[in-house]
Amino acid sequence: MSKFWSHFTTITKHRWLVRKGCFKAGLYWQGLVHDLSKYSPTEFWVGVKYFQGDRSPNNAEREDKGYSSAWLHHKGRNKHHYEYWIDYNSHGNKSGESIMVPVPMPDKYIAEMIMDRIAASKVYRGKDYTDADPLNYYWQGTQNAPLHDYTRTTLLKYLEMLAEKGEYETFAAIKRDLVKKKF
């Protein structure tokens, strides 16, 4: 199969898996619009060029060029990525300069981020997927990422629950705690 169809199939399967998880958690709109930017020319053609099938093409582009144009486009348009939630601190640091800091993600985007990680793990791990894979992915690359303490704590809570108790209990808890939460 050509890289075009392979990439198209991969991102479509990913979106289908995220949609399925989001619907179970009560995130209907987010499930429908998740990652639509992946079909934009800026992201899609990079994905085709660097498609490998077992990992994100953005990593291959980053290795080739030193950065990923597709990722820079993607993270600025999709609120389920923690990188979207980094802003300048208006108070600055000790020298008075503005610094970039993570801000807390809204719960509904943390929930979508969890569904995104589950779907990506299922797509790339295939038949070898286990409910511990999204947590393992966190420990391999996200543990030192600039996440707000609330975002990190919440993300870890549900990734650990997924690894220990599975999807059914975790999705029910996400729906109860993050999606249907009363303020």
Q: What is the pTM of this model?
A: 0.92
In a domain, 172, yes or no: yes
Tell me, what amino acid is at 46?
V
Q: Which range is least confidently modeled, 4-8, 11-15, 35-39, 98-102? A: 98-102
> In the 8-state DSSP scheme, what is residue 52?
-
182: confidence class by pLDDT, cuts 50, 70, 90 = low
Alpha helices in the chain (DSSP H): 3-25, 28-33, 41-49, 57-65, 69-75, 107-125, 133-137, 149-165, 167-174
Minimum mean pLDDT among 7-21, 88-102, 122-136: which range? 88-102
Mean pLDDT of 27-37: 97
Is 8 inside a domain boundary? yes
Residue 127 resides in a domain: yes
Overall domain count for the chain: 1
> Does residue 40 form part of some domain?
no
Q: Is residue 163 part of a domain?
A: yes
* 151 CB burial (10 A radius; 0-12, 13-18, 19+): buried
pLDDT of residue 67: 96
67 lies in a domain? Answer: no
What is the domain extent for residue 137? 3-35+78-178
pLDDT tens for residues 48-83? 999 998 889 999 999 999 999 999 999 999 999 999
Is the per-residue pLDDT at 3 higher than 70?
Answer: yes
Examine residue 12 and state whether it is found in any structural domain, yes or no.
yes
Say how far apart CA 101 and CA 95 lie, in whole Å: 16
Instruction: Report if residue 31 sits inside a domain.
Output: yes
Q: What is the mean pLDDT of residues 14-30?
A: 97
Say yes or no to pLDDT of 40 above 80: yes
Residues composing the chain: 183
